Amino acid sequence: NGSIVIDNGWFVPYNPYLSKKFKAHINVKCCQSVDPIKFINKYVYGDSDRTTLKPSNNESEIERHLQGRYFGPTEASARILEYKIHEEDPTVALLALHLPNQQSVYFLEDATPSELEHAFANSRTMPIAYFYHYQNNPTAQKYLYQDFPQYFVWNKKDRVPQSGERFYLRLLLINVAGSKSFEDLQSVDGVQCETFMQVCLRLHLTEDNQKWSHCFNEAVMFSTGSSLRNLFVTALTFVQMIEPALLWEEFCVAICDDLAHKLQTLFPGQLHEKYTLTDDSLFYKGQSEWDYGLFLLDEKLGRLGSSLETCQMLSYKIDWANDLEILANTEDIIKQIDK
C-alpha cells in the first residue's frame, strides 16, 4: 500500500537447505501476482506445440537427422562446459537369458569346422559372462544377476555376435548370487540337481502342486468330468505348474468319469474293444477313456494356442482324430443309405 518499500534485501539469493534438498540454486521470493505461476505452468496455460510438415519423395537420412535435431541454449552451454547430458539411475538394461548350450552362435554359411568351433567358443553371452566373472574372481563380492549391470559394463563388441526350464533359470539368476557356472547354479547344499526346477523347489523359490491338489479335491465333489477338464486346462494354460503329469495321475479317474459312457456311445459293441489299451503304464492301467481324456485336453489347449507337449504333459497314444473322422464319414454314408 506504499507504506513498505520492497527492495533486493527482501529476496533470498542463497538458501543452503533448499540448495541441498533440490541440488540446484534456488531464488526465493514472494508471489504477488499470477504471472510467476503462469510461467512455471506455461505448458498448461500456453498454446499447444506446433510443427511444419512438408511432403517430399526424396528422403535423405542426413537431412532428416539435421532437421530433426535441435540444439537450444541450455544444451549448447552444457556441452561447451562438458556437463553430463544424460544419466540413468538406476541402471536399466535388457538381461539376456538362455539354457545351457542354447545360446545363439553366428557364423558364415561356408564356415569350416574350425571356424565353427571358434565361433562357438567366442559366443559369450550375458549369463556366461556373469559366471565367467566369478570363475576368475572367486572372492569377489556376490551380486544378483539383475544387480550386475550397476557395477559392470557389458560390451557387445568383445564377443561374436511358454518357457519351462528357462523360467526357473531366470528365477534362480535373480535370487542366487555368486554362481560360477550353470552346473554350480544347479548345486544345492552339495546336491547336484538335474533340472533348474528341482533347484527352485529345494530353495523354496516356487510352489509345488499342493494348492492345485486341494482345489481338485474340492472340485471333484460337485463338478462333472467336463468341468474338471476345463479346470485342468485352465491350470495348464495360466499357471506354471510343477510336473502336471502327477496331478493328472491323481485325478484322471474323476476328470474322465464321463468318457467311458461316451466312448461306448461312439463305438458300441465290439468296436469299443479296439480302444482298450494294454499298456502297463502307471498313467493308463488299461483305461482307454484316460487316453481319450488326454486327446480332449489337447484339443482344448490347441484352441488356446498351446498343447500337451508344451505343458510338459503326457501324450495320448490312439489317433482319435483320425478314428472320429472315419466314424463321422461312416455316419454320413449310413444317413445317405437311409434316405
Q: Which helix (H) or strand (E) holds 238?
A: helix 225-238
pLDDT in tens, 92-116: 778 888 888 888 887 778 888 877 7
Burial class of residue 187, CB neighbours in 10 A (0-12, 13-18, 19+): middle
pLDDT in tens, 12-53: 677 888 888 888 877 776 666 766 666 666 655 556 666 777
pLDDT in tens, 143-166: 888 888 877 777 765 443 355 677
* Helices and strands, number each (H, E), in the chain: 16, 2
More confident residue, 207 or 172: 172
Q: Output the DSSP codes for 283-324.
A: TTTT-HHHHHHHHHHHHHHHHTT--TTTTT-----S-HHHHH
Residue ranges per structural domain of the chain: 113-202, 210-338
What is the length of the chain?
A: 339
Partners of 12 in beta bridges: 28
Q: State the pTM of this model.
A: 0.45
C-alpha 320/C-alpha 339 separation (Å) is: 29
Whether 197 contacts 166, CB under 8 Å: no
